[in-house]
Amino acid sequence: MAKVHNYSAGPCILDESVLKEAQAAVGNFDNLDLSLLEISHRSKSFVAVMDEATALVKEVLNVPEGYSVIFLQGGASLGFLITVMNLMRENGKAAYTDTGAWANKAIKEAKNFGAVEVLGSSKDANYNYIPKDYTVPSDVDYFHCTSNNTIYGTQMKSFPSCSVPLVCDMSSDIFSKQVDISQFDLIYAGAQKNLGPAGATLYIVKDEVFGRNGRTIPAYLDLQIHASKDSMFNTPPVFSTYVSMLTLRWLKANGGLAWIEAKNNEKAALLYNEIDRNPLFEGTANKVDRSNMNACFVLKDEAHKEAFDKLWNDANISGIKGHRSVGGYRASMYNALPVESVQVLVDCMKALEKTV
């Protein structure tokens, strides 16, 4: 079977070795003659998985002491609400930047519970840049940002210093590069980009924020409860957590964040260099804000669309169509996508140029 070059924006590509181990565990997990999908989450075998997954998050990301790591369900969309419940005081106020569809949804969720100050927005330019000229006020309960914007292909290259808790939705670029976790009071991320399959959501929370807002929180939304129960307050996402553990093993064995950051820089440079060189294409995001995870680009002349689409389809490229908000093409280059797949796409772009 010909290799498929998987550029899906999420759920996305996982390393082949991870998929093989996961496949085996679905048949017979931990020599129990039971499937991973049917074991008790309270069993000794799965508790060991949760413990290892938690420990690997801390090790790979170099999480400082005084932080809890939690695996929950609900995706980042539930994280929008969990952030508010755990950090915004009654009749409180929070600050946000509006850098894309998911950041905008987070803002709307927060407005249901308190005042929201939008410090910067790139909506005026269809979110093709990251706002930078703002100061985080000291009278808000927290500041929230989205590190990478999958739809629009922009990424924060640094984070503002502020005197209030810093919260970040890192769903689409966590584990893709080195980051100073001590900057943040709360990080949340859906697993289905660089960590594992859809179903689990990772939370990294500074213990100091627990209980500080004075709000009565529904039990499932209270991060302190989940931390005290070691992510076992209710049945956790067993399969997604297990595959996340396998992915973290793979990442650690190959050199961790320094290794994968170099790989991701290589892939992004290869594709963006071709986008900028090739007269038939142009990128949609401001160059200084381009995402290493999601490269968005368009044809300068739509007359070439049929020919280009045939080229990449014939090359077994999958998942490259751009989001309807931007159009064109979106090449999602998450951790497990090999540089060879990026080269195949670049070759298609060069082949199109030769036909014109």
Buried b (16+ CB within 10 A) or exposed e, 153-190: bbbbeeebebebbbbbbbbbbbbbbebeeeebbbbbbb
pLDDT at 2: 63
Q: Is 193 a catalytic residue?
A: yes
Q: Which pLDDT band, with edges at 50, 70 and 90, does 33 fall under?
A: very high
* CA 270 – CA 191 distance, rounded (Å): 26
Burial class (CB in 10 A: 0-12, 13-18, 19+), 270: middle
Instruction: Return the axis-axis angle of helices 256-277 and 339-355, rounded to nearest 10°.
Output: 0
**Per-residue pLDDT tens over the stretch 82-134:** 999 999 999 899 999 999 999 999 999 999 999 999 999 999 999 999 999 99
**Per-residue pLDDT tens over the stretch 253-310:** 999 999 999 999 999 999 999 999 999 999 999 999 999 999 999 999 999 999 999 9
Q: Is 169 a catalytic residue?
A: yes
Burial class (CB in 10 A: 0-12, 13-18, 19+), 139: exposed
* CA 158 – CA 183 distance, rounded (Å): 11
Q: Is 124 a catalytic residue?
A: no
Interval 46-64 mean pLDDT: 98
Burial class (CB in 10 A: 0-12, 13-18, 19+), 145: buried
**Per-residue pLDDT tens over the stretch 131-143:** 999 999 999 999 9
Interval 48-66 mean pLDDT: 98
Q: Is the pLDDT of residue 1 over 60?
A: no
**Class of CATH domain 256-355:** alpha beta
What residue segments make up the domains of the chain, in order of their start? 16-253, 256-355
* C-alpha of 353 from chain center: 33
The catalytic position among 98, 169, 185, 289 is 169
In the three-class reduction of DSSP (H, G, I as helix; E, B as strand; rest coil), residue 199 is classed as: coil
Q: Is the pLDDT of residue 200 over 80?
A: yes
The catalytic position among 98, 102, 250, 267 is 102
Residue type, 129: Y
Q: What percentage of residues in the chain have a pLDDT greater than 90? A: 96
Question: Regarding the domain delimited by 16-253, which CATH topology (the fold level of the hierarchy) does it fall under?
Answer: Aspartate Aminotransferase; domain 2 (3.40.640)
Q: How does the average pLDDT of the chain come out, rounded?
A: 97
> Is the distance from CB of 189 to CB of 201 less than 8 angstroms?
yes
Does the pTM of the predicted model rise above 0.95? yes
The catalytic position among 173, 177, 193, 206 is 193
